[in-house]
Amino acid sequence: MKLVVNSPDELVAAIPHVLGFTPSDSAVVVPLSKELPVARLDLPTSSRDFEDFLDALTGPYARHATTGSAVAVVCFTEDAALAEAVSEQLAQRFQFVGVATKLRLAAGSERWQDLDVGSGGPVTAQAALRVASEAVVAGVAAPVATRSELGASLVGDRGPVAACLSSARTDAEASTLTAERTWATDRCRQFENDGIRLSDADSARMLLAMQATSTRDALWEAATVDNASTHTALWSDLVRRAPDQVRAAPAALCGFASWLNGDGARAWCALDQIPAGKPYPLAAVVATVLQEGLSPREWADVRTFMTELITELDESFVPEPSRAVSERHRPGPEQHRGRPSPGR
């Protein structure tokens, strides 16, 4: 996705369409050169958070920087002093790793301000309407109001599938691992072709089949950049409907597919749906690619290593749970493949 913007006002209006939600108390880094991603991170609230914040963003951009790399930094906050301090420090870090910061903005609910030259203006309905119209033409869904609302979209009625688990478990015990793996991969391909939501009974069977690592891995390996949006839809639906005892696998796959699809925010929200106290190695792998700011384009290069890593992780491994599920400060930026593009 690419939205053309012609002013700071339109850039502020475009960012929610790229992220999928309207950010608040956030710093958003927008690339002005094609090799870089869009990234969002909660604004720091303490000196310790400040260093973590700078490190989390600097590392990924340093890895992707090339000659001429440039970004804009937009801080969504009513605190202009905080926006000034954060964006200035971030710009200095970016300069050190070869990324120029061409624009620094503070965006409040009613006004934006250019922090380099001091000019500003209102957040206008006209800019929002023009960008929204372009997003509709590009086939982009309207953003939700908040990141919390995006997380809530992965929570649904889990009773109907739970009611089917007992019968599905009886059927699975009468089947074989190979047969269930074949059925699960075939059913996944069917969804790729027709997009028809799995029935409660099929959902229960799929969720039980995914408890076998070999089946889960076959479904994981089936996800590519080309079909990532379809896999995100499938696993998002199962996460919404899966009871606690069988939700870890679809949540990890949803996180992975969302990352492949360039949707870092949904990827973190998916990992948040893994029940507390249930470490899951694949989730640790997904958290790692998010924390390290890897681009989906790099997956082919690291896939073998990550596949070997997951076989080495035991069930006691948890990626810093107090930070990995924090709503206030993510350990890594939420990266997105779509980006606004300057029109001038």
Q: What is the pLDDT of residues 252-275, one digit of tens each?
A: 999 999 999 888 889 999 999 998
Phi, psi of 174 (to 5 degrees): -90, -5
Residues 25-46: pLDDT tens digits? 999 999 998 778 888 999 998 8
In angstroms, the CA 344 to CA 106 distance is 21
In angstroms, the CA 51 to CA 89 distance is 10
* Beta pairing class for 26-31 and 70-76: antiparallel
Which amino acid belongs to residue 120?
Answer: G
* pLDDT at residue 145, as a whole number: 80
| Mean local confidence (pLDDT), 212-235 | 94
Domains of the chain, with CATH numbers? 2-145 (3.40.140), 152-313 (no CATH)
- Cβ-in-10-Å burial (0-12, 13-18, 19+) of 301 comes to exposed
For the chain, give the mean pLDDT: 86
Residue ranges of alpha helices (H) inside the chain are 8-19, 47-64, 80-96, 125-137, 147-152, 159-173, 177-194, 200-209, 213-221, 228-241, 248-260, 264-272, 281-291, 299-312, 321-324
Whether the CB-CB separation of 87 and 118 falls below 8 Å is answered with no
